Structure formats: structure tokens, C-alpha cells
Structure 1
Amino acid sequence: MPLHVPPAPAPALRSVLTALGSPTAVLEARTPSLRTAPGPLTPELPLPVHVLDRLTPEGVTATRLAGWRFLIRSGDRAVAAAETQLTPDGWAFAHFFEGPYIASTELALREGQAMQQPYQPRLLSVPGLYMLTLWLHGDCAADGAEGHPLATDLLVPLAPAPPGIAAHRPHRVAELLPVLNLRATPPVPPAATPLLGSPA
């Protein structure tokens, strides 16, 4: 089943197209692959980037929209990504970047396309673990900028994933989020034991 990519806000796309058309923006970007890419550069596959701030004891996720990410394609592969953010004046281009998450995102999207059930792809960032996942949301008609992970949604950790978490293996939200919450919560130090002869 094909993935149902949510439409990005038109101003976000326009800001990326303007940046791609600006030699200064491309030359100043810390993305050698973007500067040396042959042929036309096109922004594709806009994905809303949500940030997981916390998981409550009741299991409810507190997420917020951080921006929209576009894969920048040259020929048959993505060479970089463009990030946009919401400003007081509306959606604006933030920066270009490259790195392992570009190829990993492409691979995860291809794997998502091969699944039997249709999903709406999003990105979910877990800052406390320096982790990024492809979030496959079960409600394909939902507004990509809103909502929170449902228990039956899938999370696909992108490479590089934190130690002990396999990249590119789909996990149901109900199974993975408690693990992430446990990993991101600092351990409680043991209570100090009183020294012998000291007042209790």
C-alpha cells in the first residue's frame, strides 16, 4: 500500500524552493553533496517533524510540531534535506543538512511502502536519546501537523539508532514508547545510608 504523504504548508515549500534557487544559500550550506550535486535539485517527500517531549505515567505522549523536512533529490537519490520552521511571520526556511539520516529516511520510507496497511509518514524526534524515528500514523486523513502517536501506530528507528535499539525494525508505539521513556528517565539515586555512629 502506498504511504499517504501529508501536504506541507505552501509557504514552507516556497521557502525551500527560494533557498534552492539562491546560490548564496546553497554555497553557505554545510552540505558538500548539495553543492556538488549534478542536475536540478528538487524538494520532495515533505514530512512533519514532531518532537517527543515526554511520556506521562498514564502513557500519553506529549509531542509538538517542530517543522517540516523536505528531502532534496538530485537524479535518483536524495543528497540532502531542508528544514523549515514556523516563525511569527509564517513558515520559513531554516537550513540544509546532510548525513546518515537522509539515506536512512529513504530506506524506511521504501520499507513503509511495502507494508500491507496504509500509513501517513511523519518523523518523531526523541531528543533525550538523540534518536529519530519514522512515525507511521494509522490515520491517513489526519492533519500531519497535529495529533500524537496512537498505540497502534508504528515507529521505525532510523540509523544510527541508540545502543540496544535496532534500526529499521518497526515497533508498535505501545511497545516502544515505554522502553524509550525508561531509557530517557535518569535513574533515581539510592537513598544515602547513615554512617555508623552518626545520628539517624
Structure 2
Amino acid sequence: MPLHVPPAPAPALRSIRTALGSPTAVRETRTPSLKAAQGVLSCELPLPVHVLEPVSPAGGAPRTRLTGWRFLIKEDERAIAAGETMLTPDGWAFSHFFEGPYVASTELALHQAESLSTPYQPRLLTVPGLYMCTLWLHGDIAADAESGLPAPGDLLVPLAPAPPGIAAHRPHRFADLLPVLTLRLTAAPLLQKSA
């Protein structure tokens, strides 16, 4: 079943395309593959980037907040980098280009998700306290991509590198993974205090 990739806000896409066309923005970035690109570059697969806010050990409902839109930058058919936008008081603006393991891992997770029998809206969900990024497969394909919480049945696919003990590229129902994330996030400050 194909993924239902949400359309990015026009200003976000425009800011990435403008930065890609800017020799200064490309030259100043730390992305050797982007600097060395010889073919035509394209911005594809826009994904809203949400951050999972810390969950209290007493329970409490998880919260997310939108922090940007990420685009895979492709040369021919291969993703070589990613570009990200951020929301400013004036609207969407270019933030940065990057490369590394999350680029290839995102592309792989999206290909794996396309083979699922259930339709999903792809998003990214980051968990900063664990240095973790996941492909969030949201079950409501008509939902506003810039808002919402993972539903219990939504799938999270940890991208590589994943934290120790959490398998990369293995889909987890949000309801099953949330207790693991909560435990780890609440244990981390306690471990730091005892050290």
C-alpha cells in the first residue's frame, strides 16, 4: 500500500530549493556528498519532524511538537543528503543540510513501509533524550501532518543507529514502545545524578 506523503508547506519547500540553488549554502555545509554532486538534485519525500516531549513517570499523556520539515535530497534516484526547515516567527525558513546514517536509514524505512498492507501517513518523531529518530507511520492518512499525537496503533520504526536494546527498522506499535521510552527517559536523569 503506498504511503500518503503529506504535502509540505510551499514556503518550506521553496526555502530548501533556494538553499540548494545557492552555492554559498551548499559550500558552507558539512555535507561532502552534496558538495561533490554532479547530477541534478531534487527535494523529495517531505516529512514533518515532530519531537516527543518528555513523559512524566507518573503517567501523563505524551505530547509532540512540530519542529520542522525534512526533505531527502536526491541525486538521480539515490538520497545523498537531507535538508531541513524550521518554523520562525516569519514562517518557514531553511535550517540546514546534513548527511549521515539517518539519511539512508530514512530511505530504507520508507521503502519498507511501502510494502505494508495498511495505508499510513509518514512523519518523523525524534526523542532527543535518547538520541533517537523514528519513522512515525500515522494511521489517519487525512490528518493535518503538522499536528497530532501518535495513536496507540500508530507504528514507530526506529532509524539506525537506534539506542541500545531497541532494534532499528523493526516496527513497534506506539502503545508498546511508549513504556520503554518513558522508562529510559525517566531513568536517564536519575543515572546522571548518581554518577
Normalising TM by the smaller chain, what interval? over 0.9
Aligned residue number for residue 184 of structure 1:
185
Partners of 1:131 and 1:84 in 2: CA distance: 19
Matched, 1:120 2:116: no
Partners of 2:187 and 2:168 in 1: CA distance: 23
Which sections of structure 1, spanning at least 5 residues, go unmatched? 190-200
Aligned residue number for residue 46 of structure 2:
46
Partners of 1:134 and 1:125 in 2: CA distance: 9
**1:99-178 map, 5 Å:** 99-178=100-179
Tell me the alpha carbon deviations over residues 73-95 of structure 1, each in whole angstroms, 9 at most, x when there is no partner: 00110000001001111100000
Partners of 2:63 and 2:55 in 1: CA distance: 6
| Structure-2 change in CA distance of 1:104 and 1:76 (3 Å) | same
* 3-state SS, counterpart of residue 186 of structure 1: helix
**1:46-65 map, 5 Å:** 46-56=46-56, 57-58=58-59, 60-65=61-66
Partners of 1:185 and 1:113 in 2: CA distance: 34
Aligned residue number for residue 20 of structure 2:
20
Hey, which of these two has a bigger chunk of helix by percent? 2
Aligned residue number for residue 91 of structure 2:
90
* 3-state SS, counterpart of residue 29 of structure 1: coil
- Native 8 Å contact 1:54 1:63 kept in 2: no
- Native 8 Å contact 2:51 2:125 kept in 1: yes
Residue 172 of structure 1 aligns with an amino acid whose one-letter code is R
Residue 48 of structure 2 aligns with an amino acid whose one-letter code is P
Partners of 2:161 and 2:38 in 1: CA distance: 27
Q: How many pairs does the alignment contain?
A: 189
Aligned residue number for residue 197 of structure 1:
none
- Native 8 Å contact 1:44 1:73 kept in 2: yes
User: What TM-score does the superposition give when structure 2 sets the normalisation length?
Assistant: 0.94
| Structure-2 change in CA distance of 1:168 and 1:32 (3 Å) | same
User: What TM-score does the superposition give when structure 1 sets the normalisation length?
Assistant: 0.92
1:55 is displaced (CA, Å) by 2.4
Runs (4 or more) in structure 1 with deviation over 4 Å come to none
Aligned residue number for residue 196 of structure 1:
none
Partners of 2:38 and 2:183 in 1: CA distance: 45
- C-alpha RMSD over aligned residues: 1.2
Which sections of structure 2, spanning at least 5 residues, go unmatched? none
**1:69-88 map, 5 Å:** 69-88=70-89
Residue 180 of structure 2 aligns with an amino acid whose one-letter code is V
1:59 is displaced (CA, Å) by 5.4
Residue 78 of structure 1 aligns with an amino acid whose one-letter code is A
Tell me the alpha carbon deviations over residues 72-117 of structure 1, each in whole angstroms, 9 at most, x when there is no partner: 0001100000010011111000000000000000000000000000
Partners of 2:62 and 2:40 in 1: CA distance: 40
Partners of 1:58 and 1:153 in 2: CA distance: 19
Aligned residue number for residue 37 of structure 1:
37
